[in-house]
């Protein structure tokens, strides 16, 4: 098996997508945030000069432009870059793109991808650290994807571009240098398929995005204490694979959900509600959420570290459900 | 006045379409008063010349976008009035299967891409269709209708800038009817003519009498030609007036009755009819026949709509994602 970095897998996908489909355009950012690996973007931009667009800082304008272009038959991929900036384009994403298929009675398809980096990034503070996926999950009509590994980012990005729906591709800068196995000529990964990232028998840890990597480290640590944690990654919020999650929940009877959206009405809250609704009787202990605290993200490192789903909070939650 | 380029016999269908829109919206209004139609309704009675003057110059594969007051734009672009009426009546046979309604008309078969309930919401979308048109290189253009109220929205300014920068084949059609919902334009901006904004972004623009069909056509002919031949965007501001309230049921106390009376004098259908009579293109009996034909067709549309089934409640889940 071939091991490559997450950002390399992502750009392999972008290169293959651009080569295969001339209706795909990249609009706005570099898909790398401030990562130093700019050369991979530059090579792509040089190769597809006419299909890599650099609009002015007008999120409302270019999110709408991409949506309208999708309505007219193109398949644009917009890089909103910092997730907080989706609020600038929100009316076009949430009120136009998301509603169009339903509102037109199925006449209008909107195959646009909105890519963004969410979450705590190290000094982003309140206006550069948003995780808008919970708000977006509350907005029917969008598909929402959260990759957590090199193989997933490649396979899911291909499916996102092929989808006829507006798709939010939620990435995390802390993942860009993660290494992992990515087979040559790998197949796209269908939406709605959760993935068991680590097998275990004592507790089900459901994690999304970068939190999957953190939870895998936690699971490794706890293994030395003979705690066997199963780490399950939903990979897509819409569509959502309840069956894989419940198979694990039925096996362990103990659940911790780790996610970087804020706690109230967050991603973990919704997953918790679904588990309780469909399998309350399978739980041997109250489930626990580890989310970002319900406060605006602070700038200073100790403050930022404190509010996120820290490793010690995850371990404490796992111990609590095992009691 | 009839310009040299206009062939008089080609003008009669324009009168027919204006009458079809007028009769259609009057029928919608009547059905609303009878509670046969419920929901938010915004009528464009009095603004027909802008819709017809513009859309009569477009191809079916040109992309048209509207706003919350867009029944007329859809009809002028060739939407089927039976399916349109059924949509406004919330029926399963409507264009959008009853899920869109009056403010969210989509008639893709006619190239009416979408309306929106959000002031200025379709302006960026039209940019995207123009971007796609440019990619496809088939000479298509995108047209977006919006009101003077949209001119103070961020989406408007961001879109004008990008359209100009990327030379997109989009025509901005501003129906300046003097009122943003319930408020006169002068309370919202010091810029009296929205075409001024186009100048700021170096987009060729024109302000015309929006109740004079031929003047609209003349300006729009140039604008469409400009966009179609790859010269970039164009902006046409049409000064007009809605003869109804902002929404059906709006008492419109913000408007002086004298102002309303003044605009009734400038009714675009009456003016165009006078022009055609003056040119001896139509006689009184032709005019009466055109009106009665329009009323007959809209009556049939109403019958079709009201005889159509309501959507089944379970249909809500059928078209959330493709």
CB neighbours (10 Å) of residue B229?
11
Give the total number of structural domains in chain B: 1
Residue B314 located in a structural domain: no
Active site residue A128: yes
Q: Which part of chain A has CATH 3.40.50.920?
A: 195-322
Query: Are residues B100 and A109, on separate chains, in Cβ contact within 8 Å?
Result: no
Residue B187 located in a structural domain: yes
> Which of A25, A58, A61 best tests the B interface by mutation, with the highest count of B CBs <10 A?
A61
Q: Which long-range contacts (CB under 8 A, 24 or more apart) does B216-225 make?
A: B216/B49, B216/B50, B216/B53, B216/B54, B217/B6, B217/B14, B217/B53, B217/B56, B217/B57, B218/B3, B220/B53, B220/B54, B220/B57, B220/B171, B220/B173, B221/B5, B221/B57, B223/B171, B224/B57, B224/B58, B224/B141, B224/B171
Q: What is the DSSP letter of B265?
A: H
Q: For tokens 């920068």, name the residue.
A: B165
CB neighbours (10 Å) of residue A185?
5
Helix residue ranges per DSSP H, chain A: 6-20, 38-47, 59-71, 86-90, 98-103, 133-137, 150-162, 210-223, 242-252, 267-279, 301-307, 311-322
pLDDT-based confidence at residue A1 (cuts at 50, 70, 90): confident
Phi, psi of B98 (to 5 degrees): 85, 5
Question: What's the CATH architecture for A195-322?
Answer: 3-Layer(aba) Sandwich (3.40)
Residue B1 located in a structural domain: no
Q: Collapsing DSSP states into helix, strand and coil, what is residue B6?
A: coil
Closest CA to A208 of A243, A235, A173: A235
Cβ of A72 under 8 Å from any chain B Cβ? yes
- Select which of A25, A118, A128, A172 is catalytic: A128
Residue B3 located in a structural domain: no
Write the CA distances from B215 to B107, B169, B183, integer angstroms.
27, 22, 27
Closest residue of chain B to A99, computed from CA coordinates: B320
Chain A window 122-181: which residues touch B at a Cβ cutoff of 8 Å?
A: 140-141, 143, 163-165
Residue B319 located in a structural domain: no
Q: Which part of chain A has CATH 3.40.50.970?
A: 3-181
Query: Are residues B128 and A68, on separate chains, in Cβ contact within 8 Å?
Result: yes
Write down the ipTM of this complex. 0.94
Q: Going residue by residue through chain B (322 aa), what tens digit of pLDDT does each one get? A: 445 567 888 899 999 999 999 999 999 999 999 999 998 999 999 999 999 999 999 999 999 999 999 999 999 999 999 999 999 999 999 999 999 999 999 999 999 999 999 999 999 999 999 999 999 999 999 999 999 999 999 999 999 999 999 999 999 999 999 888 888 889 899 999 999 999 999 999 999 999 999 999 999 999 999 999 999 999 999 999 999 989 988 988 898 888 889 999 999 999 999 999 999 999 999 999 999 999 999 999 999 999 999 999 999 999 999 9
The set of residues, in sequence order, having a beta carbon less than 8 Å from that of A299 and lying 6+ positions away, is: A123, A125, A126
Interhelix angle B154-165/A59-71, nearest 10 degrees: 70
Asked whether A97 and A166 are in contact (CB, 8 A), the reply is yes
Give the mean model confidence (pLDDT) for residues A37-46.
97
Closest CA to B91 of B318, B311, B313: B311
Query: Are residues A65 and B128, on separate chains, in Cβ contact within 8 Å?
Result: yes
Rounded to an integer, what distance in angstroms lies between the CA atom of residue A235 and that of residue A267?
A: 12
| Boundaries of domain holding B70 | 8-308
Q: For tokens 């009769």, name the residue.
A: B23
Query: Are residues A61 and B126, on separate chains, in Cβ contact within 8 Å?
Result: no
CB neighbours (10 Å) of residue A278?
14
- The pLDDT value recorded for residue A157 is 98
* Residue B107 CB-half CA count within 13 A: 31
Q: For tokens 């009809």, name the residue.
A: B75
Active site residue A230: no
**What CATH number is associated with residue B16?**
3.40.50.970
Whether pTM > 0.90 for this model: the answer is yes
Residue B107 located in a structural domain: yes
Residue B322 located in a structural domain: no
Closest residue of chain A to B100, computed from CA coordinates: A103
The set of residues, in sequence order, having a beta carbon less than 8 Å from that of A177 and lying 6+ positions away, is: A5, A6, A7, A35
Q: CATH number for A3-181: choose from 3.40.50.2300, 3.40.50.1370, 3.30.530.20, 3.40.50.970.
A: 3.40.50.970
Cβ of B100 under 8 Å from any chain A Cβ? yes
Phi, psi of B93 (to 5 degrees): -85, 0
pLDDT tens by residue, A88-122: 999 999 999 999 999 999 999 999 999 999 999 99
Cβ of A104 under 8 Å from any chain B Cβ? yes
């Amino acid at each position: 098996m071939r091991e490559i970095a997450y950002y390399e897998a992502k750009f392999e996908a972008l290169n293959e997508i651009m080569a295969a489909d001339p209706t795909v355009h990249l609009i706005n950012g570099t898909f790398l945030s401030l990562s130093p690996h700019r050369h991979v973007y530059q090579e792509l931009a040089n190769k597809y000069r006419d299909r890599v667009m650099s609009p002015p800082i007008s999120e409302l304008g270019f999110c709408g432009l991409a949506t309208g272009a999708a309505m007219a038959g193109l398949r644009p991929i917009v890089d909103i870059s910092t997730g907080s900036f989706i609020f600038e384009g929100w009316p076009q994403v949430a009120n136009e793109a998301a509603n169009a298929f339903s509102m037109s009675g199925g006449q209008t398809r909107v195959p646009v991808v909105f890519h963004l980096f969410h979450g705590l990034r190290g000094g982003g503070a309140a206006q550069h650290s948003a995780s808008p996926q919970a708000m977006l999950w509350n907005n029917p009509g969008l598909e929402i994807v959260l990759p957590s590994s090199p193989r997933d980012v490649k396979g899911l990005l291909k499916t996102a571009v092929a989808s006829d729906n507006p798709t939010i591709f939620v990435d995390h800068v802390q993942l860009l240098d993660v290494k992992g196995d990515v087979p040559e000529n790998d197949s796209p990964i269908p939406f709605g398929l959760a993935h068991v990232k680590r097998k275990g028998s004592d507790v089900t840890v459901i994690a999304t995005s970068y939190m999957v990597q953190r939870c895998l480290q936690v699971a490794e640590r706890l293994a030395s204490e003979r705690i066997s944690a199963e780490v399950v990654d939903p990979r897509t919020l819409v569509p959502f694979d309840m069956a894989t999650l419940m198979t694990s929940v039925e096996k362990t009877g103990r659940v911790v959900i780790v996610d970087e959206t804020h706690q109230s009405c967050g991603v973990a809250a919704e997953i918790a509600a679904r588990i309780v609704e469909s399998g309350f009787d399978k739980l041997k202990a109250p489930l626990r959420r580890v989310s970002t605290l319900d406060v605006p993200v602070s700038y200073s490192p100790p403050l930022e570290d404190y509010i996120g789903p820290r490793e010690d909070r995850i371990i404490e939650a796992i111990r609590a459900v095992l009691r | 006045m009839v310009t040299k380029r206009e062939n008089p016999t080609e003008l009669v269908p324009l009168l027919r379409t204006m009458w079809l829109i007028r009769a259609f919206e009057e029928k919608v209004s009547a059905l609303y008063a009878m509670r046969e139609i419920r929901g938010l309704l915004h009528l464009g009675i009095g603004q027909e010349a802008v819709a017809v003057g513009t859309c009569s110059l477009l191809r079916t594969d040109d992309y048209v976008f509207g706003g919350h007051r867009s029944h007329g734009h859809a009809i002028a672009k060739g939407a089927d009035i039976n399916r349109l009426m059924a949509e406004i009546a919330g029926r399963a046979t409507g264009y959008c299967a009853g899920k869109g309604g009056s403010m969210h008309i989509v008639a893709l078969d006619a190239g009416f891409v979408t309306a929106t309930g959000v002031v200025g919401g379709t302006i960026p979308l039209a940019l995207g269709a123009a971007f796609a048109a440019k990619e496809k290189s088939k000479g298509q253009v995108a047209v977006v209708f919006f009101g003077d109220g949209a001119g103070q929205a961020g989406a408007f300014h961001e879109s004008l800038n990008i359209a100009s920068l990327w030379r997109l084949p989009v025509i901005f059609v501003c129906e300046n009817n003097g009122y943003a919902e319930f408020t006169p334009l002068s309370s919202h901006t010091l810029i009296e003519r929205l075409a001024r904004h186009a100048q700021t972004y170096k987009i060729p623009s024109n302000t015309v009498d929006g109740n004079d069909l031929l003047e609209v056509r003349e300006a729009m002919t140039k604008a469409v030609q400009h966009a179609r031949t790859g010269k970039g965007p164009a902006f046409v501001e049409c000064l007009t007036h809605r003869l109804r309230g902002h929404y059906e049921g709006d008492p419109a106390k913000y408007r002086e009755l004298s102002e309303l009376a003044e605009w009734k004098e400038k009714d675009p259908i009456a003016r165009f009819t006078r022009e055609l009579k003056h040119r001896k293109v139509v006689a009184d009996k032709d005019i009466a026949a055109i009106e009665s034909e329009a009323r007959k067709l809209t009556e049939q549309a109403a019958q079709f709509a009201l005889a159509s089934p309501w959507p089944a409640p379970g249909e809500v889940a059928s078209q959330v994602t493709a």
